A and B are shown apart, each in its own frame.
Chain A
Amino acid sequence: MSERGVRRFVADLLSGRRPRRFRVEEHEAAELAAAITLRAARPGAGTPREEFVTDLHHRLAAQLRAQTDQAATPLVKPIDVSRRRLVATAGIAAGAAAVGAGVDHVLTTEHVTGAVGGQPTLIPNAGQWRTVAASADLPEGGMTGFDLGTVIGFVTRSGGRLAAVSGLCTHLGCRLALNAPARRLDCPCHNTSFALSGQLLRYQLAVPPAPLPRLEVRESNGMVQIFAPPAPSA
């Protein structure tokens, strides 16, 4: 029965799948290692995919940004990334600290902020100012959602200023729900939350979703208005 694990491991390797986990007996290890050695000898096998290199670059930028933001907003943290096995263990952290010690310059924000895409603002090709609320209905600290047919989002007044963000999760597009007591936007699909400013607050995904796009907002004649495409005619 111990053979089965080895056969399945080898079959997985040969078909390019991630080998399924099993408890390896001592006498089986060399066979698995031999299979790995052979598989790794294929031409080009050790070269990473371009998409992977690009994607990891984005994840690292997001992680470093989150670390440096953490002093200001201690809310940013992954909820559960253990399933993707991306958690740095205590052992790694301790080893890392030991190896990294003795030098003085820390990897910090100045390189990171410029490298990260930031928070884009939606400016449609053919937009118009469309009313979403009466000014009186949006007092200081107030917040409200809107659906303009072409764009959905949330607008808030904070510190005397209006701000509006898209109401779709940047992960896979689920509609965000306003969580008024917590003053945040919750995704119903994957436990992602955004601040009303659009910044990511928490996520369970391996790759941090981008912040929410901003929308242009103004106040005119006692009305709060968003710059958005006209409503669909049909």
Chain B
Amino acid sequence: MVGDDVYPDWEAVYRDNVERVYGLMFAKVGNRADAEDLTAEVFLAALGPMRISASVGEVRAYLSATARTVLAGHWRRNFGREVTMFSDTLDVPQPTAAEADPDNSAEPTAAASLAQRMLAGLPEQYRQVLRLRFLQGYSVRETAAALGVSVSNAKVLQHRALRRAAQLSPGGEP
């Protein structure tokens, strides 16, 4: 599928975009349940009014625009504030960019490198606790053992480390 092509039917639209939309959503909500619900909301809202004689690039841009609205609605409705949002340039694929780059495989890399940049700015112990807890799925107890601190210390460390990471993160400001 390249930017100027046209999808044969809605199922092709779905097959070609469901993983990308899910990946975009997961990067912005960080949990499966919300990512699934919001992905469903995007397609349920978009497929009815969508005209598929639009080019592949236009359809993708349209899905991204719908995803932006859906994500904003999710945060405002449930948390009163937009905690994360899609940047203007990064997440809406241009028709030409979509041709060159298989975006499904690019998404996790983008998410991972964002996290790596965030971790890189932290003191060693903070970096460790966040890596173990968030990336490697250690329990608090396991993290405490790995770091050689008490369980309650591990909790405090995690809390402080996350706060520091938030201060460093450029994308964190709403």
Q: A residues near B, CB below 8 A?
A: 7, 10, 12-14, 16-19, 21-26, 29-49, 52-53, 56-57, 59-60, 63-64, 67, 84-86, 88-89, 91-93, 95-97, 99-100, 103-107, 111-112, 115
**Nearest B residue to A10, CB-CB:** B162
Prevailing SS type, chain B contact patch: helix
**Nearest A residue to B48, CB-CB:** A67
Contacts of A89 in B (CB 8 A): 69, 73
**Quick check: is B116 within 8 A (CB to CB) of the other chain?**
yes
Q: B residues near A, CB below 8 A?
A: 9-11, 14, 18-19, 22-23, 26-37, 39-41, 43-54, 58, 61-62, 65-66, 69-70, 73-74, 77-84, 107-108, 111-112, 114-116, 118-119, 130, 133-135, 137, 159, 162-163, 165-167, 169, 171-174
Contacts of B47 in A (CB 8 A): 60, 63-64, 107
Partner of A13, one of B31, B36, B49, B50: B31
Distance, CA A104 to CA B53, complexed state (A): 7
A24-B51 in contact (CB<8A): no
Known contacts A32-B84, A37-B115, A103-B53; 13 additional CB pairs below 8 A are A10-B162, A16-B31, A29-B174, A33-B171, A35-B30, A37-B118, A38-B115, A38-B135, A40-B26, A85-B37, A88-B44, A91-B69, A107-B50
B37-A24 in contact (CB<8A): no
Known A-B contacts A24-B80, A42-B137, A45-B26; A18 and B70 likewise in contact (beta carbons under 8 Å)? no
A85-B108 in contact (CB<8A): no
Contacts of A64 in B (CB 8 A): 10, 47-48
**Nearest B residue to A107, CB-CB:** B10
A34-B80 in contact (CB<8A): no
Q: How far is the CB of B76 from chain A (nearest CB, A)?
A: 10
B33-A111 in contact (CB<8A): no
B50-A57 in contact (CB<8A): no
B44-A107 in contact (CB<8A): no
Distance, CA A29 to CA B28, complexed state (A): 12
Contacts of B34 in A (CB 8 A): 18-19
Distance, CA A29 to CA B53, complexed state (A): 40
Sample of 7 A–B contacts (CB below 8 Å):
A29-B174, A35-B30, A41-B116, A48-B19, A92-B69, A93-B45, A107-B47
A14-B134 in contact (CB<8A): yes
Distance, CA A84 to CA B172, complexed state (A): 28
Partner of B83, one of A32, A46, A115: A32
